[in-house]
Amino acid sequence: MNKQPTVLIIEDDIFLNNIYNKRLSEESFNVLTAFDGEKGIKAAKQKLPDLILLDLMLPKTDGFTVIKYCKKDKDLKNIPIILLTNLNDKDDIEKALSFGVKEYLIKVHFTPAEVVDKIKNILSKK
């Protein structure tokens, strides 16, 4: 029996966090949530999710710091990260991709269904 993939959502917007939690749960994913970067890192270390859905603008620890931490950690470095953010700055996008982020998605350009499809696509290649 295949275990259901686990997705960690690190998003401080409670409404968006709940939307993605519900949508992923409906698709039979195990879902973990964190509302700031610090708790997100802690959850990633404890649970070792299959994928991290990450916002950049977060309280306590921002998304770039979370990415850098994950990529340096031997247990976390191979976990794919999808950024879901409102930051549409070319430098931010290039910086994130240079850190090894799998996708850089601008929130307003993607529906929850499209984001779930991206997650499924990345996990199918693991």
User: Could you read off the pLDDT of 22-42 as tens digits, one per residue?
Assistant: 999 999 999 999 999 999 999
Cα–Cα distance for residue pair 52/44, rounded to 1 Å: 8
Backbone angles phi, psi at 89, to 5 degrees: -90, 130
CATH class of 6-124: alpha beta
Q: Is 105 helix (H, G, I), strand (E, B) or coil?
A: strand
Cα–Cα distance for residue pair 97/104, rounded to 1 Å: 7
Q: pTM of this prediction?
A: 0.96
The domain spans of the chain are: 6-124
| Structural contact between residues 7 and 24, judged by C-beta atoms closer than 8 angstroms | yes
CA–centroid distance for 14 within its chain: 15
Q: Which of 83, 81, 85, 64 is nearest to 13 (CA)?
A: 85
Could you list the pLDDT tens digit for every one of the 126 residues in the chain? 357 999 999 999 999 999 999 999 999 999 999 999 999 999 999 999 999 999 999 999 999 999 999 999 999 999 999 999 998 999 999 999 999 999 999 999 999 999 999 999 999 987
Q: What is the mean pLDDT of the chain?
A: 95
According to DSSP, the residues that pair with 103 across neighbouring strands are 82
The conformational region for residue 48 under phi > 0 = left, psi -120 to 50 = alpha, else beta, is left
